[in-house]
Amino acid sequence: MAISIRSCGRTHCPPGEALPDCRVRQARLQAVPSTLLIPLAARAHGARLYPWLDCHDTQARHLLDCLEVDCAPLLRDRVAVLNVLWRTRVIMAWAEAFFRRHPEATGVALGCGLSHYFQWLDTGVNRWIDADLPEVCALRDALLPPARDRRVNATVDLSRAGWWDTLHLPAFDAVAPLFLVCEGVLMYLPPAQVRDILAEFAQRAPAGSVFVLDAISHLGVGQARHSVSVGPTGAEFRWGLRQTGELLDIHPRLSVAESRSVSECYGWMGWAAETLCLPWSGAPLYSLVALSADPR
Ligand SMILES: C[S@@+](CC[C@H](N)C(=O)[O-])C[C@H]1O[C@@H](n2cnc3c(N)ncnc32)[C@H](O)[C@@H]1O
């Protein structure tokens, strides 16, 4: 899809105001990268629908203004908006707990899109790497340029082996663990690539590092056309979980530190529906898992 981008290299322009020094250009995003607009719109305006899940993402609102995107059609996908706001809260809680224990550690957003976790997770001494495909990094460099050497944008293709070295991440015997988040990404990749990405994390990460991922149930694979927001992008769901435990078969260093299901947002009815569906769906319809890299 083609989008117009207004950018002046600043990150804090007054929302909704076209500044005289803004340059306007066109960018073209392929199907999967274009899905970054879905979480961006949810974080910017989803609190209108779910005020109790408001993540107060002022950066997302500003970025949508710069992109001149009509996000009304995206907000019609209420399920996706709920999923994104819920996952943002859970990831924030896990990340805050991690950085309380390791205030100087590095965080990494893999397939970051235009998310901006460092606005909430800056401890004053930690570092953050936002990594995505080249076309998305070009967008980020225009709209969210690196800040104070502690937040950088990096180009990576997770479908290629060696992404750990591409991002210059520390060796497994480094003292400080890492916090990696890969949200809204793995479901678009073939299962073999997902296994390779998690195996690379397990082989390379310092002990105590955490890899947070979100997953759909395997029942959703091939069903993207039924999604109000993903369907029109042409992207497809290619990977889903049959059961959460299968993640542990990828590498002996992996263990599940935390896992949550979005069914918790629907109260006891969500719990009952999930319990009834699990024999058939295997894993929750949408869940978050924090994998930890154990000591060798
Ligand atoms: C739905 S968006 C999620 C963006 C972001 N994580 C968020 O929650 O706002 C999917 C993102 O995955 C990225 N992505 C897909 N395949 C990738 C790959 N092979 N390597 C790196 N990033 C990838 C896309 O470019 C896109 O930014």
**Is the residue at 24 inside a domain?**
no
Task: Report the pLDDT value the prediction gives residue 165, as an integer from 0 to 100.
Answer: 97
Please identify, by atom number, the ligand 1 atom nearest to the C-alpha of residue 189: 16
- Is the pLDDT at 17 greater than 60, yes or no? no
**Range 261-267 contact pairs with CB under 8 angstroms and sequence separation of 24 or more:** 261/285, 261/286, 261/287, 262/82, 262/83, 262/86, 262/87, 262/286, 262/287, 264/86, 265/53, 265/82, 265/86
Ligand 1 midpoint to CA 32 (Å): 7
Based on its alpha-carbon atoms, the radius of gyration of the chain, rounded to whole angstroms, reads 19
- Is the pLDDT at 149 greater than 90, yes or no? no
- Is the pLDDT at 201 greater than 60, yes or no? yes
- Furthest-apart CA atoms within the chain: distance in Å: 59
**Is the residue at 198 inside a domain?**
yes
Sequence-distant (≥ 6) Cβ neighbours of residue 261 within 8 angstroms: 274, 284, 285, 286, 287
pLDDT tens digit string along 280-296? 888 999 999 999 999 87
Task: Report the pLDDT value the prediction gives residue 1, as an integer from 0 to 100.
Answer: 72
Q: What is the mean pLDDT of the chain?
A: 91
Task: Report the pLDDT value the prediction gives residue 11, as an integer from 0 to 100.
Answer: 57
Task: Report the pLDDT value the prediction gives residue 62, as an integer from 0 to 100.
Answer: 85
pLDDT tens digit string along 31-76? 998 999 999 999 999 999 999 999 999 889 888 888 878 889 999 9
Average pLDDT over residues 149-160: 96
**Is the residue at 12 inside a domain?**
no
Please identify, by atom number, the ligand 1 atom nearest to the C-alpha of residue 43: 9
DSSP sequence for 90-102: HHHHHHHHHHHH-
Ligand 1 midpoint to CA 136 (Å): 8
pLDDT tens digit string along 202-227? 999 999 999 999 999 999 999 999 99
Question: 61 versus 121: which is more confidently predicted?
Answer: 121
Do the bridges between strand 23-28 and strand 2-7 make them parallel or antiparallel, or are there none, so unpaired? antiparallel
Q: Ligand 1 pocket: which residues have CB below 6 Å?
A: 32-33, 35-36, 38-40, 111-113, 115, 132-133, 136, 156-159, 183-185, 188
Q: What sign for the dihedral angle of Cα 97, 102, 103, 109? A: negative
Pocket test for ligand 1, best of 29, 43, 114, 132 (most atoms within 8 A of CB): 132
SS3 256: strand
Task: Report the pLDDT value the prediction gives residue 71, as an integer from 0 to 100.
Answer: 87
- Is the pLDDT at 14 greater than 70, yes or no? no
Q: Please state the pTM of the whole predicted model.
A: 0.94
**Is the residue at 47 inside a domain?**
yes
Query: Would you place residue 184 in the very low, low, confident or very high pLDDT band (cuts 50, 70, 90)?
Result: very high
**Is the residue at 40 inside a domain?**
yes
**Is the residue at 9 inside a domain?**
no
Percent residues over pLDDT 90 in the chain: 72
**Is the residue at 218 inside a domain?**
yes
- Identify the domain containing residue 221 by its residue range: 30-62+70-293
Query: For residue 227, what is the domain's CATH number?
Result: 3.40.50.150
**Is the residue at 15 inside a domain?**
no
pLDDT tens digit string along 234-267? 999 999 999 999 999 999 999 999 999 999 998 8
Hey, whose CA ends up nearest to atom 14 of ligand 1?
Answer: 111
Number of domains in the chain: 1
Task: Report the pLDDT value the prediction gives residue 20, as an integer from 0 to 100.
Answer: 59
Pocket test for ligand 1, best of 1, 28, 36, 194 (most atoms within 8 A of CB): 36
Task: Report the pLDDT value the prediction gives residue 219, as an integer from 0 to 100.
Answer: 94
